Amino acid sequence: MSATNSATDDGSTTAASVDLQGLLGRPARVMVTKIGLDGHDRGSRLVAGFLRDAGMEVIYTAPWQAIETVVNQAMEEDVDAIGISSLATDHLLVPKLMEAMRAAKLDDVVVIVGGIVPENDANDLREAGVAEIFHPGSSRDEIVTRIAALISENRGR
């Protein structure tokens, strides 16, 4: 059996293989949400579970959140990161979310998008300030480690 993309050297793929405590000190707070019209939420539920199992504090919301609601909740919950899950074109709203975040002075919150995002659109999202885009096939370790690293980097700034 070949190694997975992101398995650690000993072959272990449990989330515990990521030393989050060491990396972050206090637990990361991550909001996992969906904006726009689509309701496919297998992805957001799975990822919320991964992050929770990895020791992060997850604020999980129903789909169809308005951009203002996400911004307000991010502020109230004092989150380190927001993960937006998108399957059916709702990623097109993310640049508007980024604008609203800047207007609310939430520049220090890491925004991550996961789901079906065509490559050309992915470039637009990166330009708009999205820190990372996870496509289908991303593994649990890849997602957890990368989010932890982004948050740790951001806290250090």
Partner 1 sequence: MPKNGSSDHDRNAADQRWQSAYEENLPGDAQRENRSGIPIKPLYTPDDWDSESYMPDLGFPGEEPWTRGIYPTMHRGRAWSQRQLVGLATPEQYNARMRKIVAAGANALSVIPCNSVYRGYDMDEVDPVLLGTCGTTINTVDDLDTCLDGVPIDTTSIALNDPSPFTLLAFLLATANRRGISWDKVSGTSNQSDFISHFVANHMFFRLALSGARRVFVDHVAFANEHVPKWNPVSVVGQHMQQAGATPAEAMAFTLSTAIQFADDCIARGMDPDKFLPRFTFFFDISISFFEEIAKLRAGRRIWARIARDRLGAKDMHSHRFKFHAQTSGLDLTRQQPLNNIARVTAQAIAGIFGGLQSMHTDAYDEVLSTPTEEAAKIAVATQNILRDEAHLDDVIDPLAGSFYVETLTNDMEEQILAVMDKVEAAGGMFEAVRTGLVQRMIGESAAKFQAKVDGGEQAIVGVNKYQDDSEIPPRALDRPSADVMQRHIDNLKRFKSERSNEAVAKALDNLARASEDESDNIFGRIVEAVEAGATNGEVCGRLRDELGFGQPLIAA
Q: Which residues bind partner 1 (CB under 8 A)?
A: 1-5, 7, 13, 36-42, 45-46, 48-49, 60-64, 88-90, 92-93, 96, 116, 118-121, 135-137, 139-141
Give whichever of 90 and 132 is closer to partner 1, judged by the CB atom: 90
Alpha carbon 57 to chain centroid, angstroms = 12
Residues 12, 52, 148, 137, Cα dihedral to 10°: 60
What is the spatial distance between Cα 55 and Cα 95, in angstroms, rounded to a whole number? 29
Write down the least CB distance from residue 93 to partner 1, Å.
6
Write down the least CB distance from residue 132 to partner 1, Å.
16
What DSSP string describes 68-105? HHHHHHHHHHT-SEEEEEESSSGGGGHHHHHHHHHHTT
Give whichever of 111 and 144 is closer to partner 1, judged by the CB atom: 144
Write down the least CB distance from residue 108 to partner 1, Å.
26
Alpha carbon 32 to chain centroid, angstroms = 7
Write down the least CB distance from residue 134 to partner 1, Å.
11
Give whichever of 89 and 152 is closer to partner 1, judged by the CB atom: 89
Give whichever of 25 and 66 is closer to partner 1, judged by the CB atom: 66
What is the spatial distance between Cα 156 and Cα 134, in angstroms, rounded to a whole number? 23
Give whichever of 69 and 153 is closer to partner 1, judged by the CB atom: 69
Write down the least CB distance from residue 156 to partner 1, Å.
29
Q: Which of 86, 43, 35 is nearest to 64 (CA)?
A: 35
